[in-house]
Amino acid sequence: MLTLSWLLPLAGALLVMLVPNADGRRDGVIRWLSLAAAVATFGVTMAIWFGFDSESASFQFVERVPWIPAFGIDYFIGVDGISLLLVVLTGFLTPIALLSSWGSINRKVKEFSIFMLALEAAMIGVFLSLDLFLFYVFWDAMLIPMYFLIGIWGYDQRVYAAIKFMLYTMAGSVLMLIAILGLAYLHSSATGAYSFDLLKLYALDIAPQTQMWFFLAFTLAFAIKVPLFPFHTWLPDAHVQAPTAGSVILAGVLLKMGTYGLLRFSFPLFPEAATYFAPWLAVLAVVGIVYGALVAMVQPDMKKLVAYSSVSHLGFVVLGICAMNVQGVQGAVYQMLAHGVSTGGLFLIVGMLSDRRHTRLISEFGGLKAVAPKLTAAFLIITLASIGLPGLNGFIGEFLILLGAFRWDPRFAVVAGLGVILSAVYMLWMFQRVFYGPVTHAENATMRDLVPREWVSVVALCGIALVMGILPSLFLRPMEASVEALVQRVQTAQTLRVQRTEP
C-alpha cells in the first residue's frame, strides 16, 4: 500500500514520458493523464488514512526489504500519525497544483508533468522512509525536479533563484549526509553492525557530547528547509520565481520537510541535545515569526509577501516543536497541515491573478472585488484561514502551539503572539489594496472571474480549511498517540540528562 503511494506517481511520470509529444499536440492528453495519476495517488493516500489505526503509536503498513545488506541498508517504510497526514496533504495538493498549471504552463508540458509527478513521488518517499539512507535518497531526489521546475518554468530571474535554492539546500544536506553516515558508524561500534534503520538508531545510547554535533548537523539541514530565520533568504526568491504549481508545492509540502525532519530525526534521535538547544531554536523561531511578519508587511510583490508570511508561520511550527509537549507538537503538526492548505491556496490565487495580468505587484491591482467577486470571496476565506480566525484551520494550530509554548516558557508565547496581530496587518492590507477601492488599472476592469477548473481547486481548499477549523478532531485524533509517544521519548531523555548531571 505504501509503496504504491509513491510508485503510482512515478509510474504516471513514466507513462507520460511514453506519450510522444514533440509538437505539443498531445498537451491535453498529458495533462489529463498526469492529473489522473495524481488523483489516483490521492485516493491511495486517503485509503491509507482510512486503514490507519489511531490508537496505535507505532509505525503501520510497514514494509521492509533488504537493499544493501552489507551496510544494513533496507528499503524500510511505514507511517505513524505524524507522517500519515503529511502524506495525505501531499496527495491532496499535487492534483491542485497540476490543475493550476493548466492555464499557465504551455511550454514543455510533458516535461513539466513528469517533473511534478516525480516530485510527488520523492516527497511521499521522504515522509515514508524509516531508513536513513533511503530517506536521504528521497530527500535529494526531491531537489532535482524542484530545481528544474523553478529553473525552466519560472519567471525572469528563475536561474538565479533555482541555483540559490539548490546551493542553500545542498549546503545543509551535505552535513546531514555526513551525520547519517556517522550514525551508522556509531551503530556499528556499539553493536558491531552498520544500520540505517531509524528504529534501531532510536534505541542507540549516544553520549550527550556527541549528540550535540549530530543534532546540529541534522538541524542545520532542516532549518534551511523550514526555513528558520536567518536561513530564509532563499525562500522569497524561489517562491517569486517559481511557477504557481511550484510555489504551491514548495509552500504546501516542501517546507514541511524541515519541520518533519525536526520531529522525526533531530528531536527523537538526539533528545538530550534537543533539550539543550530547544530554547535557542525557539528564539530563532519567535524572531522569525515577528521578523517574517514585519518584512511581509512591506513587500510590494504579492508572492514575496506570501513567502515571508510562510517564514512567520513556520516559525510557529518550530516553536511548537521546541516546546515538546503534547499541545505544542500537535499544534505544530496541525499548523503544518493548515499552512499547507492556506498558503497553498494563497499561492494558487496569487498565481491566478498573475496569470491574468502578468504582474504580481500589489500596486498594479485594486478594486477587483467589483470585477471578480468569486475570486475575491475565495481569497478572503483563505486570507482569514491564514490569519488564524477561529472556525478556520489556522486557529487550531496557532492556539495549540501558543498554549504549548506558554506552558513551556510564557515569554516565547508572548512574543510569538505578536505574529497574530501582524498577520492581520499584512494580509488585510494586501487584501485591501488588491480587492478594495476603485479599479485603477483599465486592464483589471475586464478581468475574468474564476473559471470552473479554478473553481474546483478553490472550493476544495476552502472546504478543507473550514473542516479543519470546525472538526479538528478528525486530524488531531490520528496523530495523538504518535505525538504522545514522541513527547514521552524526548522527556524521558530529558529527565535522564538531569539525573546524569546531578550526581
Pick the piece of the chain touching another protein (CB under 8 A) from 30-38, 316-324, 345-353, 382-390.
Answer: 382-390
Please answer whether residues 91 and 127 qualify as being in contact, where contact means their C-beta atoms are separated by less than 8 angstroms: no
| CA distances, 135 to each of 6, 212, 269 (Å) | 13, 21, 15
In angstroms, the CA 86 to CA 398 distance is 18
Half-sphere exposure of residue 110: CA atoms within 13 angstroms, side-chain side: 14
Question: Considering the rule CB under 8 A, would residue 384 count as an interface residue with another protein?
Answer: yes
CB-based burial of residue 14 (10 Å sphere; 0-12 exposed, 13-18 middle, 19+ buried)? Answer: middle
Query: Which member of 263, 346, 353, 403 binds another protein (CB under 8 A)?
Result: 403
Size of the site for another protein (CB under 8 A): 56
DSSP 8-class letter at 497: H
Residues 6+ apart with CB under 8 A from 284: 223, 228, 229, 230, 318
* Beta pairing partners, 197: 131
Nearer to another protein, 140 or 480 (CB): 480
Q: Select from 84-92, 135-143, 351-359, 362-370 the region that touches another protein (CB under 8 A).
A: 362-370
Q: Which stretch binds another protein (CB under 8 A): 49-57, 185-193, 211-219, 422-430?
A: 422-430
DSSP 8-state class, residue 252: I
Does residue 420 bind another protein (CB under 8 A)?
yes
- Residue number with CB closer to another protein (30 or 336): 336
- Using CB under 8 A as the binding rule, the residues of this chain from 281 to 310 that contact another protein are 291, 294-295, 297-299
Q: Which of 391, 443, 451, 463 binds another protein (CB under 8 A)?
A: 391
Give the residue, chosen from 21, 94, 259, 325, that forms a contact with another protein under the rule CB under 8 A.
Answer: 325
Per CB under 8 A, 112 contacts another protein: no
- Binding flag, residue 363, another protein (CB under 8 A): no
Q: Which of 29, 480, 489, 494 binds another protein (CB under 8 A)?
A: 480
Per DSSP, the residues of 78-147 read EE-HHHHHHHHHHHHHHHHHHHHTTTT--SSHHHHHHHHHHHHHHHHHHHHB-BHHHHHHHHHHHHHHHH
Range 145-151, long-range pairs (CB < 8 A, 24+ positions)? 145/115, 145/116, 145/118, 145/119, 146/119, 146/246, 146/249, 146/250, 146/254, 148/111, 148/115, 149/112, 149/115, 149/116, 149/119, 149/242, 149/243, 149/245, 149/246, 150/238, 150/241, 150/242, 150/243, 150/246
For the chain, the 3-state helix, strand and coil shares in percent, each to the nearest 5, are 80, 5, 15
**Pattern 158-187, another protein, x by CB under 8 A:** ------x---x-------------------
For position 436 contacting another protein by CB under 8 A, the verdict is yes
Among 46, 141, 424, 485, interactor with another protein by CB under 8 A: 424
Contact pick of 193, 414, 474, 498 for another protein (by CB under 8 A): 414
Q: Residue 476, interface with another protein (CB under 8 A)?
A: yes
Q: Does 262 bind another protein (CB under 8 A)?
A: no
CB of residue 332 vs another protein: minimum separation in angstroms? Answer: 11
390 binds another protein (CB under 8 A): yes
Q: Which stretch binds another protein (CB under 8 A): 10-18, 242-250, 428-436, 454-462?
A: 428-436
Name the minimum Å distance from CB 263 to another protein: 16
Residue 57 sits in the site that holds another protein (CB under 8 A)? no
Least Å distance, CB 222 to another protein, is 18
Using CB under 8 A as the binding rule, whether residue 316 contacts another protein is answered as no
| Cβ burial 40-75 (10 Å sphere, 16+ → b, else e) | bbbebbeebbeebeeeebebbbeeeeebeeeebbbb
Q: x/- site string to another protein, residues 230 to 249, per CB under 8 A? A: x-xx--x-------------
Q: Find where cell 489522473 sits.
A: 36
Which of 26, 200, 357, 407 binds another protein (CB under 8 A)? It is: 407
| Pairing relationship of beta strands 73-79 and 60-68 according to DSSP bridges | antiparallel
Among 51, 66, 373, 463, binds another protein (CB under 8 A): 373
Among 101, 266, 330, 393, binds another protein (CB under 8 A): 330
C-alpha cell at 410: 510564557
If we measure between CA atoms, which residue out of 275, 326, 214, 183 comes closest to residue 493?
Answer: 275
347 within 8 A of 251, measured Cβ to Cβ: yes
Q: Which is nearer to another protein, 184 or 295 (CB)?
A: 295
> Could you say whether residue 326 binds another protein (CB under 8 A)?
yes
Site residues (CB under 8 A) for another protein, limited to 451-470: 470
Eight-class DSSP state of 72: T
> Cα(71)–Cα(7) distance, rounded to whole angstroms?
25
The torsion defined by the Cα of 151, 241, 456 and 258, in degrees rounded to 10, comes to 80
472 touches another protein by CB under 8 A: yes
Stretch that binds another protein, among 90-98, 118-126, 143-151, 474-482 (CB under 8 A): 474-482
* Nearest approach, Cβ of residue 437 and another protein (Å): 6
Question: Which amino acid type is present at position 224?
Answer: I
Which DSSP letter does residue 246 get? Answer: H
Binding interface with another protein (CB under 8 A) = 164, 168, 230, 232-233, 236, 291, 294-295, 297-299, 325-327, 330-331, 367, 369-370, 373, 377, 384, 389-391, 396, 399-400, 402-403, 406-407, 410, 413-414, 417-418, 420-421, 424-425, 428-429, 432, 435-438, 470, 472-473, 476-477, 480, 484
